Structure 1
Amino acid sequence: MAAIKREIIQLLKEEILSLQLKPGTIISETTLSERFKISRTPIRDILKQLSAEGYVDIYPQKGSVVSYIDLESVEQIIYLRSTLEKEMIKELSAYIPLKGLHQLHDLLTSQEDCLKKEDAFGNFMALDDAFHKTFFTLTGRLFLWDIIQQFNAHYLRYRKLHMLKKEKLSEILKEHQLIVSHIVEGKTEEIDALIHHHIRADVNSLYFQEHFADYIKKEKN
């Protein structure tokens, strides 16, 4: 049963992150029980786990809904990633293993190839994750990456909606290329500003509020 629950949790996460299940969507225990052919008791455990990671909000006596995107949570994750990645990239600009540099260049090539395709978004987002994860891996801080992923539900959906613009993907690739260039050339003095813009540029953008207001968590008066 534990393996089945993990599979269901992963599937529901994917449906929430892909916006198949949009913010505010009611999630019925009965419907999930019928869909996955298991009793409601493990379904409750699954929903509790999803709630603990920010994917679902559970309301006593009312039921469960897909969580609205919490911009405060988004800001916290952006701050954390920006702070960590600035330091890791500076560290790599002082010394990066040749194998690691090849990994980054291979990812840049894959991103370039991805943008030439009609349906670039899904693959590009995965490559973007792989690119940034490489910094954590090469500096021996993969544990921190894994922790961030556990509390990433709001940020991932926020980022996905910003990346629906094709021109945004091209902008991200250019900044990735510049990051690698700075690492190779050891331009540590330019890294802070570049990473600050790369990770934080969209956080105060009106684009999200204008196009996806219905997905945002409303502040209580």
Structure 2
Amino acid sequence: MEGKTKTYKNRGDLVFETLKQEILDLELKPGQIISENEICERFGVSRTPVREAVRKLQEQGFVISVPYSGTQVTLLNLDTIKQMIYMRVAVETMVMRDFANMATPLWMEEVRYMIRRQQALILEKGFEPEQFYRMDAQMHAIWYRATGKRKLWDMIQAQQLHYTRFRMLDFVTETDFTRIIREHTELFELLEKKDIEGLEQSLREHLTYSMKRMKHQIEVEYKDYFEQEEQEDE
């Protein structure tokens, strides 16, 4: 986190939080085997805190135990991701409708400022996709906070196992960040005009675009990141 130093109760928590974040950031990839020995050596700890961290990761669904192989990062479930996107479109459409009707100049300036930060970020040499991902999330959170729907946003963000990792994969494979900023700018302009119909259509396209754009990557390049969908008997 920017400007914050986390403190941990014990070494097991440190290992757990570090591995969890690396899974979310795709530094540890779906399907990757995690070695207990390597973790012990990396963090300079005994097996006890490492096993405690792995147990917590298993409980939250981030890893599974594979016989004779070790611990494996869980794969992404495409159907779950599609349903999360469907839910987010439905919820965020209503939230933005409320925001358009009540947004003060101060709230609008906060959105404008976040777009400017995104524009500045992509001009930096060697910026990381996760930096843009976090700025993107901060901008979308604005209308949830403004309308008193922060708990809804927290619920969406809590869907880390599949949806957050998919969003990170989206940004990691994105090559045109200017397109995302154009879409954000369009949302802002529609908010200014209070064009509810245009706003809802633009938001729907914005939130569903990644699934269309990544069709080839999902089916070919990153096929091994996803659970194989079971074929229904005819």
Relative to the length of structure 2, the TM-score reads 0.82
CA distance in 2 between partners of 1:100 and 1:7 (Å) = 36
Q: Which one of the candidate residues 74, 82, 91 is aligned to 1:84?
A: 91
Partner of 1:58: helix, strand, or coil? strand
After the TM superposition, which residues 95-114 of structure 1 pair with which residues of structure 2 at under 5 Å, given as runs?
A: 95-114=102-121
Is 1:216 matched with 2:226?
Answer: yes
**Residue equivalent to 2:204:** 196
> Aligned residues, how many?
220
Q: How far 1:60 sits from its partner (Å)?
A: 6.2
Point out 4+ residue stretches in structure 1 off by more than 6 angstroms.
Answer: none
CA contact (8 A) 2:64 2:74 kept: yes
After the TM superposition, which residues 1-221 of structure 1 pair with which residues of structure 2 at under 5 Å, given as runs?
A: 2-59=9-66, 63-120=70-127, 121-163=129-171, 164-167=173-176, 169-205=177-213, 206-208=215-217, 209-220=219-230
Q: How far 1:41 sits from its partner (Å)?
A: 4.1
Q: How far 1:18 sits from its partner (Å)?
A: 2.9
Q: How far 1:75 sits from its partner (Å)?
A: 1.3
Partner of 2:126: helix, strand, or coil? coil
Q: Which amino acid aligns with 1:201?
A: Y
CA contact (8 A) 2:11 2:45 kept: no
Q: How far 1:26 sits from its partner (Å)?
A: 1.2
Q: How far 1:204 sits from its partner (Å)?
A: 4.1
CA contact (8 A) 2:187 2:202 kept: yes
CA distance in 2 between partners of 1:182 and 1:48 (Å) = 47
Partner of 1:118: helix, strand, or coil? coil
CA contact (8 A) 1:69 1:216 kept: yes
Comparing 84-93 with 186-195, greater Cα deviation is found at: 186-195
Unaligned runs of 5+ in 1: none
Q: How far 1:92 sits from its partner (Å)?
A: 0.7
Are the structure 2 counterparts of residues 110 and 91 from structure 1 closer, same or farther at C-alpha, using a change threshold of 3 Å? same
Partner of 1:133: helix, strand, or coil? helix
Are the structure 2 counterparts of residues 174 and 76 from structure 1 closer, same or farther at C-alpha, using a change threshold of 3 Å? same
Matched-pair identity in %: 26
CA distance in 2 between partners of 1:94 and 1:3 (Å) = 47
CA distance in 2 between partners of 1:97 and 1:6 (Å) = 41
CA contact (8 A) 1:51 1:57 kept: yes
Are the structure 2 counterparts of residues 95 and 3 from structure 1 closer, same or farther at C-alpha, using a change threshold of 3 Å? farther
Are the structure 2 counterparts of residues 54 and 80 from structure 1 closer, same or farther at C-alpha, using a change threshold of 3 Å? farther
Q: How far 1:39 sits from its partner (Å)?
A: 4.3
Q: Which amino acid aligns with 2:80?
A: S
Q: What is the RMSD computed on CA atoms of the aligned residues?
A: 2.3
